[in-house]
Amino acid sequence: MKKTYIIVAIILIIIFGLFAVYKNKNSPGSDNGASGKIDVSGLDSLSKDLNSLGSSMDSLNDDVELDSAGSSSSDSSSETPSLSGLESSQNDLAAYDSSMGGLNDNEDL
Amino acid sequence: MKIYKKASLMAVFSILLVLSMFPASSAEMNYDRLKTNTLAMLDNSINRIENAKNTISNNPKIDEATKTNTIANLTAMQEKLENYKTEVEATTTIVDLRNLNTEIIKYLVDNRDIIRNNVRMALINLGQKVADKADDFINDVEKLLKVMKVSCNEQTSQITEVEAQLNELQTSLTSLETAITEKDSATIKSQVRKISQLSKSIYEDMKSIEQAC
């Protein structure tokens, strides 16, 4: 009889043990620790950070670069051409236009 | 009666003497006139070449290599004409002068395009510089527009307007490049004028967008 109690007790211990292991494995957040609770506040903060980073990247164009040809009329300290550089180019184009005025190729000897 | 006979004979001799002098005097007049005309023709061509040389050398936008090349061509022609002038001065007979005059006229006809060709060379040189400059200008505007589309997105309609002008500028640039290849100086000039006007308008619009931002 005593033997039977011992066997039943062992079986119960094994059953509770297995149940505890099963419960632990299938509980959400089991990887985070024994508590099984999720800390969503961290995710929320991360999400906000990502959104903020995304917005700040919108104004950054990494394909805007100084080309050597344009640098002569652009501000070399800036990554994008300046409006003053544009003005200088436009003035050059106007000067070329007026310099052509005196050149007439319709004259014979 | 004898006196009348003598007087008549003297008169006839005088008339014959005067008449005999006419052909020589006429030939001399032809020689002088032809010499003057030939020298004037040479001076006129030399002056035209000189004017073309001055126009090219005083143009600050034409590069030195093109200037050197065109001025050397024109100077060589000028020197040849100066030599002809010396030869004309050295002639002594109307026949020599006529032969030389014919040779000079042929030379001028054969080389009549020298001014045209060299001025065209200068125009092509300038056209190529404008094409390069316009290409830089288009690239700069495109880069600025990219930034403005993000930072000034409330100016969409003006940005669209600039983009339309930029397309027009690109079309003009393509026409200019074709004209350069075809050595079409009239189109080079007209497209350069259009590019100059469009670039001015684009710059003004870009400035206005920037101020509105």
pLDDT for B65 equals: 94
Instruction: Flag if A69 and B193 touch (Cβ within 8 Å).
Output: no
Question: What CA–CA distance (Å, rounded) separates B3 from B10?
Answer: 11
Q: B207 and B163: one domain?
A: yes
Closest CA to B62 of B151, B128, B147, B158: B128
Name the domain boundary from B112, B133, B158: B112
Q: B90 and B127: one domain?
A: no
pLDDT for B213 equals: 81
Q: Where are the alpha helices (DSSP H) in chain A?
A: 2-26, 40-58, 68-71, 83-99
The model carries a pTM of: 0.64
pLDDT in tens, A14-61: 776 666 655 555 444 444 444 433 333 433 433 333 333 333 323 322
Q: Scanning every residue of chain B, which has its alpha carbon at the shortest distance from the alpha carbon of A89?
A: B137
Number of domains in chain B: 2
Interface confidence (ipTM) of the complex: 0.73
Name the domain boundary from B112, B133, B159: B112
Provide the token pair at A42.
Answer: 């961290």
Q: B87 and B41: one domain?
A: yes
Mutate to test the interface with B, among A103, A104, A107, A108 (most CBs of B within 10 A): A103
Instruction: Flag if A103 and B55 touch (Cβ within 8 Å).
Output: yes
Q: Tell me, what amino acid is at A46?
A: L
Min CA distance, A77 vs chain B (Å)?
A: 15
B60 domain-assigned: yes
Chain B residues with beta carbon closer than 8 angstroms to that of A68: none
Which residue range forms the structural domain that includes residue B39?
28-112
Residue B165: CB atoms within 10 Å? 16
Provide the token pair at B104.
Answer: 């000079």
Instruction: Flag if A97 and B130 touch (Cβ within 8 Å).
Output: yes
Q: Report helix, strand or coil for A109.
A: coil
Name the domain boundary from B55, B87, B112: B112
Q: B106 and B141: one domain?
A: no
Q: Which of residues 31-60 of A touch B (CB under 8 A)?
A: 58-59
Contact by Cβ (8 Å): B183, B126: no
Q: How confident is the model at residue B12 (pLDDT cuts 50, 70, 90)?
A: low
